[in-house]
Structure 1
Amino acid sequence: MTAPQSSKFPAREGRDPLTPRPVTVKRGVNPHAPGSAHLIMGRTEILATVTLEEKPAPHMRGKKEGWLTAEYSMLPRATTDRQARERNLQNGRRYEIQRLLGRALRAGMDLRFFRNQTLYVDCDVLVADGGTRVASILAGHAALHDFCDRLIQKGQLTDWPIARNVGAISVGLLGDEVRVDLDYQEDKAARADLNVVATDAGLIVEVQGGAEEGALTHEEYVRLLSTGTAAVQDVMREITRQLAVIQGL
């Protein structure tokens, strides 16, 4: 049953406060990339691709592991108003998001399989309606799944290199109500919000965010964190189910 909506805050378009937006993911959408995925979460859309470079990152030379790095960009009309292409800007937000994506996706990979190599995960926002960084983590995971599956299918790997399934979700407080997977209007109205990165087993990888107005109590923060972790598990179950369908191979 859908929870009643407060007139003070944005409506949820038929979903209750603890239900994420519908998510769909399709693998193998880019014929030129060895791994790719198109993810739609509500009205937010992400295209993620994986590229393998046959040389180590400078700081990984001589190490037993390879490296994974991520890049994030938003197309000019991903938002309601045209934004200049981010490649032409010194954009601190973009670099912050890229570092988050890299840390999150590395947490899921056993990079010993890619010694002296570098994985690049490019996440491009096609349409933005809130939650682009968490949706990019989900799309990046799906693209890596596609990439690794292709290596297995081709006999280039015999063991599965994804050590754990890592996903993410946003969670916020609108008044005293906890909501998961905030869209843009909810994000603007929230008095606190977190981006929770966790595994499908409920282990926390990273938490980013905080209060927008005043301060949070310890109990409020714990409630946000536990709700977000549970929501990540729900979303990852659905994404894992969809990734089991082999597309484009």
Structure 2
Amino acid sequence: MRSDGRRPDELRPFSIEPGFIGSALGSALVTAGRTRVICTASQEARPPAWLKEGGWVTAEYAMLPGSVRPRGRRESGGREKEIQRLIGRSLRAAIELAGLIGPAGPVSLVVDCDVIEADGGTRTAAITGGYVALFLAVQALLRQGSLLQAPTLRPVAAVSVGIVEGTDGVARALLDLPYAEDSRAAVDLNVVMLASGGLIEVQGTGERSSFSRAQLDVMLDLAERGVASLAEVQRAAIGAGR
């Protein structure tokens, strides 16, 4: 039994509120337990100068100072840059970049992910909510006539998995770790997947010990089930936000 009473394969209470920021093309408030992230998708004035064909999607990630205790620092460091690159890669895998073309040429979108409360899993929540914000932004651009055609979108979501020793001294694979579990995990894994089941990125670290191929398979199975559940929440949020 986990400290919050969840089963090993159970997600924290998870919700996505679409259209949370009215001024953005697409937006969502993501809540995973006590972790909350605001995701907004906006069109950039100009695509990157190096872009030769198709459009582009990138991301920025930040934690508000009050999202952690004691107060965090506002400047962007190496951790934040690594996470925003992960979010950007994940969202680019979700969209047909060749389809991001408007009447004036390539369209560039940026998805901002701002953590307002952190209790573990901020990067995975940002990816899951970032996809909803991106989808809604594309729909808004189509309504405005700012895209020549609808680019193909493939739902993408992410979740954390870890191996954590319980109060009974037995180490188990657990899905969707809050900070209390993440901070003492022997193995920490972040998994980004398409809702259709294809892996996009797996970030795994033996924090306190190595892990076997069999343990990795167990964790990936847990992640796959978690992503399937997250995809259902995404579909409902997109339906409500249209």
Whether 1:109 aligns to 2:109 is no
Aligned counterparts of 2:45 and 2:69: Cα–Cα separation in 1? 39
The AA in structure 1 aligned to 2:82 is E
* CA gap 1:201/1:216 in 2 versus in 1, 3 angstroms: same
Aligned counterparts of 1:160 and 1:16: Cα–Cα separation in 2? 40
Q: Return the match for 2:194 from 196, 199, 204.
A: 199
The match for 2:67 is: 78
Q: Return the match for 1:96 from 75, 78, 82.
A: 82
Could you tell which deviates more after superposition, 195-204 or 156-165? 156-165
* CA gap 1:243/1:132 in 2 versus in 1, 3 angstroms: same
Whether 1:129 aligns to 2:124 is no
Please state how far the C-alpha of 1:161 moved relative to its aligned partner.
Answer: 2.4
The TM-score with structure 1 as length reference comes to 0.88
Cα deviations by residue, 1:134-178 (Å, 9 ceiling, x for unpaired): 000011111112212223344544754242100000001113311
The AA in structure 1 aligned to 2:159 is I
5+ residue gaps, structure 2, are 166-170
The match for 1:120 is: 110
Please state how far the C-alpha of 1:83 moved relative to its aligned partner.
Answer: 0.9
5+ residue gaps, structure 1, are none
Q: Return the match for 2:232 from 221, 234, 237.
A: 237
Aligned-residue CA RMSD in angstroms?
A: 1.6
Aligned counterparts of 2:143 and 2:57: Cα–Cα separation in 1? 22
Q: Is the 8 Å Cα contact of residues 37 and 146 (structure 1) preserved in structure 2?
A: no
Q: Is the 8 Å Cα contact of residues 57 and 117 (structure 1) preserved in structure 2?
A: no
Whether 1:68 aligns to 2:63 is no
Matched residue SS, 1:103: helix
Could you tell which deviates more after superposition, 212-221 or 235-244? 235-244
The AA in structure 1 aligned to 2:182 is D
Please state how far the C-alpha of 1:59 moved relative to its aligned partner.
Answer: 2.4
Aligned counterparts of 1:24 and 1:223: Cα–Cα separation in 2? 25
Aligned counterparts of 2:206 and 2:92: Cα–Cα separation in 1? 27
Matched residue SS, 1:198: strand
